[in-house]
Amino acid sequence: MAEKQEEPSNTQNGEADNAEEGEEKKKKKVKREDLPPFEIVTGERLPAIFFKFQFRNVEYSSGRNKTFLCYVLETQGKESATSRGYLEDEHAAAHAEMAFFSSILPRCEPGLRYQVTWYVSSSPCVACADRIAETLRRSSSLRLSILVGRLFMWEEPEVRAALQRLRAAGCKLRIMKPQDFEYVWQHFVEPEEGEEAKAFVPWEDIQENFNYYEEKLAEILQ
């Protein structure tokens, strides 16, 4: 007669389960800690579908919780040079404007002069506007022009004040015209599959929305 194998007790089962659960939690914790708190996406050209949705200059930007920043960095001096690229974020932590100063600007050589142009899906928030203004005040060798598709929360007094401080610091701020959207399409957007030379097709209300935002920005900066 074979001996009956002793079943582990409930206590032993519970201890094993708790140990496994604790180990699993520890692994998950380590994985979370190893990951950066926020990732900024960078590249030379962004997908056309992102451009068509995120850059559209609609009055109500529902669902557009990212900032896309396309930049042209021109080095001015004996050996002039131009570089381009884009940064993408989500409105959760570091924004694309902040990422430019932490990842792109440090590559610039001290002593040279730089002209930077941003084409941004929406205008900066208060924190970003103040960071930009502070950077411009500290760096006499940097000139910045920002062209925005939409105004972010422009009705809020603190946002309006931040944009005013931005201009006072020497930043040139204006709304993107239809021609500017076409420029971004040509220089910063990946060709759609099978349509390498497809021309930019303006959306129906692009001029009307430009006029709307241009008027609002003029009111803010007057």
pLDDT for the residue 5: 39
Residue 7 domain flag: no
pLDDT at position 97 over 90: no
The pLDDT score that the predictor gives to residue 98 is 83
Whether 3 is in a domain gets the answer: no
Does any domain span residue 189?
yes
**pLDDT (0 to 100) of residue 23:** 46
pTM for the whole thing?
0.76
Copy the structure tokens of residue 165: 């401080």
Number of domains in the chain: 1
Q: What is the CATH number of the domain that holds 204?
A: 3.40.140.10
pLDDT by residue (tens digit) across 117-156? 999 999 999 999 999 999 999 988 889 999 999 998 999 9
Q: How high is the pLDDT of residue 145?
A: 96
- Domain membership of residue 127 (yes or no) is yes
- CA dist., res. 148 & res. 190, Å (int): 20
Residue 17 reports pLDDT greater than 60? no
* Residue 43 in tokens: 């590249």
Whether residue 175 is predicted with pLDDT greater than 70 in this model: the reply is yes
pLDDT band (50, 70, 90) for residue 169: very high
The answer to whether position 59 is within a domain reads: yes
Considering the domain boundaries, does residue 21 fall inside one?
A: no
Say if CB 81 and CB 116 are below 8 A apart.
Answer: no
24 found inside a domain: no
Catalytic residue annotation: 97
Mean pLDDT of 48-74: 84
SS3 of 195, please?
Answer: strand
**Dihedral, CA of residue 53, residue 129, residue 220 and residue 142, to nearest 10:** -100
Q: Mean pLDDT throughout 75-85?
A: 81
Tell whether 122 is covered by a domain.
yes
Domain of 127, in residue numbers: 46-221
Name the residue with tokens 């021609």.
179
Tokens of 149: 């598709």
Distance (Å, whole) CA 3 – CA 6: 9
Predicted local distance difference test score (pLDDT) of residue 161 = 96
Confidence check: pLDDT of 18 > 70 = no
d(C-alpha 81, C-alpha 170), whole Å:
23
Residue 42 predicted with pLDDT over 70: no
Percent of the chain exceeding pLDDT 90 equals: 43
Mean pLDDT value of segment 48-60: 87
The alpha carbon of 134 is separated from its chain's Cα centroid by a whole number of angstroms, namely 19
Rounded to the nearest integer, the mean pLDDT of the chain is 79
What burial letters (b/e) apply to 78-110, b meaning 16+ CB within 10 Å? eeeeeeebbbbbeeeebbbbbbbeeebeeebee
Percent of the chain clearing pLDDT 70 (strictly above) = 73
